[in-house]
Amino acid sequence: MPTDGPVGIHDLTFRTAGLVLPHTELARHTGACVTKYHQGIGQQAMSIPATDEDIVTMAAEAAAALMERHGADRLRTLLFATETGIDQSKAAGVYVHQLLGLGPHMRVVELKQACYGATAALQLATALVRRDPGQHVLVLASDVARYDLDSPGEATQGAAAAAMLIAADPALVTIHPTSGLYTHDVMDFWRPNYRATALVDGKKSLAAYLQALRGAWRDYRHRGGLDVAQLHTVCYHQPFTRMAHKAHAQLLQEAEVPATAAEIARALAPTTSYNELVGNSYTASLYLALAALLDSDQQLDGRSVGFFSYGSGSVAEFFSGTVRTGYRHLLRTEEHLEAVQRRYPIDYDTYRRLHRMHRLPRQELPVNGAQHDLPHGVSGRYRLAGFHEHQRIYECVSPPPLFPQP
């Protein structure tokens, strides 16, 4: 029977790529002052995928952690959100399904709308659970943010995957049913099929983000959403962490709430700690902000939190949720810190070589169906082993876990 009870995020984790380029190393070779990165855009480092890492391997690593804790016997749906998809037809989640050894009686779908896609997946998941509260839905958001070398967006690159288990009576965050929506056709950021890197108009994208925030917030309030004073803080999509500061200042101005830059910084600091080390992770970015907030030393039991999700092009949503009492016993703080700290630092020349290699399909990797084996580079459980007959070949480096099947 459908439920009117609480539905939301029962568990949440993230994983990132195995390599890292610190912005201190980037600054040494670009000639920029490192404060431009550390303070100007609020970034410390960016995760870089090894040759055998991609959105599937990162998502599988994150999803496996959820399945190991909860099993898969109630799992009926896997929703995979990404804007760096690997196939025009096949959902990346099907590869994850196989790597995890999940049962056949499931739906698996890929969603796309720039960085907003994971929020669309979250809302679809909550609707499915409300209809059938006995089931769980696995939401995966996985992306690699890659821009042209020596471009203005280069310093905001990154890679990560977030995994969320959506359930009735959730342990972490109840998602409120009210949300504010906003869509506007604007060419602020896009990536045509024939390009491996995105095109972006920085000034237009900043303006479009803030316009979408105003529009989504007004719709949220019009539909009975909480007032700013009722929100402990807001988690924002963070293409770079200073963007969250600009957004919060705009939101407070819209709500006619005066605040200093220092007050805004204090409110948002708990939400930026992971993104400033990982870089932009597109669809996963907002949910890394939530992970950072939950992992902070703040006591959030019973507090309401706002969420602003933005996807260039553009689609946006403002919604809210309540952190559940006792949420801390399910946190994965040590796992998250380990995922960030275990990355292997690379130098600038290695970074540029990897950047050129990942620029499918025009560089070293084959486009004619020939067999091409990739060198072993990952430190995790799953890897992209190579290509053969136009197919991506994934493998488990260690034996896959066994989950109860639905």
pLDDT tens, the chain, 406 aa long: 888 899 999 999 999 999 999 999 999 999 999 999 999 999 999 999 999 999 999 999 999 999 999 999 999 999 999 999 999 999 999 999 999 999 999 999 999 999 999 999 999 999 999 999 999 999 999 999 999 999 999 999 999 999 999 999 999 999 999 999 999 999 999 999 888 888 899 899 999 999 999 999 999 999 999 999 999 999 999 999 999 999 999 999 999 999 999 999 999 999 999 999 999 999 999 999 999 999 999 999 999 999 999 999 999 999 999 999 999 999 999 999 999 999 999 999 999 999 887 654 334 566 777 888 888 877 788 999 888 888 998 998 876 555 555 5
Q: Which two tokens stand for residue 213?
A: 């925030």
Instruction: Give the pLDDT score at 361.
Output: 39
Q: How far is CA 163 from the centre of its chain?
A: 9
Q: Among the residues of 325-368, which ranges form H helices?
A: 333-341, 348-357
d(CA 246, CA 75): 39
CATH class of 177-324: alpha beta
Structure confidence at residue 308 (pLDDT): 98
pLDDT for position 374 = 87
Q: Is 61 an active-site residue?
A: no
Residue 401's pLDDT is: 57
Query: What's the pTM?
Result: 0.95
Q: Rounded CA gap, 404 and 121, in Å? A: 24
| Active-site annotation holder among 25, 53, 83, 110 | 83
Q: Which of 10, 237, 248, 355 is catalytic?
A: 237
Q: How many CB atoms lie within 10 A of CB 193?
A: 5
Give the H/E segment covering residue 115. Answer: none
Plot region of 170 (φ>0 → left; ψ -120 to 50 → alpha; else → beta): beta
83 is catalytic: yes
Distances (CA, A) of 17 to 51, 194, 283: 10, 25, 15
Q: Are 40 and 83 in contact (CB under 8 A)?
A: no
pLDDT value, residue 359: 54
Q: How high is the pLDDT of residue 19?
A: 96
CA–CA distance from 202 to each of 15, 157, 284 (Å)? 28, 14, 20
Extents of the domains making up the chain: 7-173+331-396, 177-324
pLDDT computed for residue 300 by the predictor: 98
Q: Of 110, 115, 276, 317, which residue is the catalytic one?
A: 115
Q: Which CATH architecture has domain 7-173+331-396?
A: 3-Layer(aba) Sandwich (3.40)
237 is catalytic: yes
Same fold, 7-173+331-396 and 177-324: yes
